[in-house]
A = this chain, B = another copy of it.
Amino acid sequence: MVSIHQRIVEDIETRIMGGIWLPGHRIPFEHELVEEYQCSRMTVNKALSALAQRGMITRRRKVGSFVASRQIDRTVMDIQDISTEAELAGHHHSHKILRRKVETLDAATAAQLGETTGADILRLHCLHTVDGKPNALERRIIMLAMVPSARTESFASVPPGKWLLDMVPWSKARHVIRAVSADAATARLLETERGKACLTLIRQTWQMSRTVTHVEIIHPGDRFQFAGDFHPTERGVPNQRSKRGSF
C-alpha cells in the first residue's frame, strides 16, 4: 500500500542513487511523469517538490528538473547534552559544579561572543563524570539578561546544559569542534597527562540574534568521539541510525 507520490519519489531516488541518472541528468517533465504514472500533475508536482526541498534535484521553470550534484560534504552530527547522551548509551552520569560566579562581561570575552561589554553573566565550571571516570570539563557563560532565573539556580541536581535546554527557547546554535592539547589544570581535572590530545566542542546559542549561552566542553581524546551517518537519499535530514559521541 504505497501512495503514487511515494512511488514516484522512490523510483527517482533509486535511479539517482544507483548511478543510472548522474548529476545534471534531466528528469522527465511533469507531464511525462503524469503519463507514465497515470496520475494528476498535482501528485507529480508534490513528489518533485519534495525531492527538490531535500536537495536531491533542482528545478527551473521552462527548463526542467535535474539531478543535483552529489554532496558528500554534509553530515548530520548528533551533538547532545552530555547527561542525555550518557543515559542513552546506558552509562551512569554525574556532575559537580567547580565554580559558579556572577560577573560582568569583560572586553575580551565580549568580543569573543560578539556581545557588548558590561553585561551580567553567570560563569560556570562543571566536571562531568561517566561511570566514575572524568569525561568532560565544561566552561559555560550564561547571559543573565536572557535567562534571569539562572541567577538563583544552583545547578546541583540538573546539569546546566539540560537545564537550559528545558528553560530557554533558542533560535540558532553554532558548533565548533577542534583538537587541543590539555593544559596542566585541565589535565589534572580530567585525570590525564598534560599535553594529551583533547576534543573540544564549543557551542554558542542565540535567541533572536542575542547570545543565550556559550559553552566549551573538553573531552579527553581517548574517551570520546563524534560520529554521524549520512545517506544521500536523506540529504541533510537527520537519520535515526546516526550515532552519538561514544565512549
A167 to chain B, nearest CB (A): 10
Q: Is A84 an interface residue (CB 8 A)?
A: yes
CB-based contact A79/B74 at 8 Å: yes
In Å, the complex CA distance between A53 and B235 comes to 13
Asked whether A72 and B81 contact (CB < 8 A) given A171-B17, A174-B228, A225-B178, the answer is: yes
Q: Can you tell how many copies of this chain the complex includes?
A: 2
A4 to chain B, nearest CB (A): 16
Task: List residues of chain B with CB within 8 A of the CB of A230.
Answer: 172-175
In Å, the complex CA distance between A174 and B232 comes to 11
Q: Is A195 an interface residue (CB 8 A)?
A: yes
Q: Which of A56-111 contact B (CB under 8 A)?
A: 70, 72-81, 84
CB-based contact B224/A178 at 8 Å: yes
Task: List residues of chain B with CB within 8 A of the CB of A77.
Answer: 74-77, 175, 177, 228
Q: Is A2 an interface residue (CB 8 A)?
A: no
Task: List residues of chain B with CB within 8 A of the CB of A46.
Answer: 46
In Å, the complex CA distance between A46 and B43 comes to 12
A137 to chain B, nearest CB (A): 14
Q: Is A18 an interface residue (CB 8 A)?
A: yes
CB-based contact A75/B73 at 8 Å: no
Top 5 closest pairs, chain A to chain B, by CB: A179-B221, A19-B169, A197-B197, A73-B80, A179-B199
Given A73-B244, A177-B225, output 20 extra A-B contacts at Cβ < 8 Å: A72-B81, A73-B78, A74-B79, A75-B79, A76-B77, A77-B77, A170-B232, A171-B231, A172-B232, A174-B228, A174-B230, A176-B226, A177-B199, A177-B227, A178-B199, A179-B197, A179-B221, A180-B197, A181-B195, A236-B237
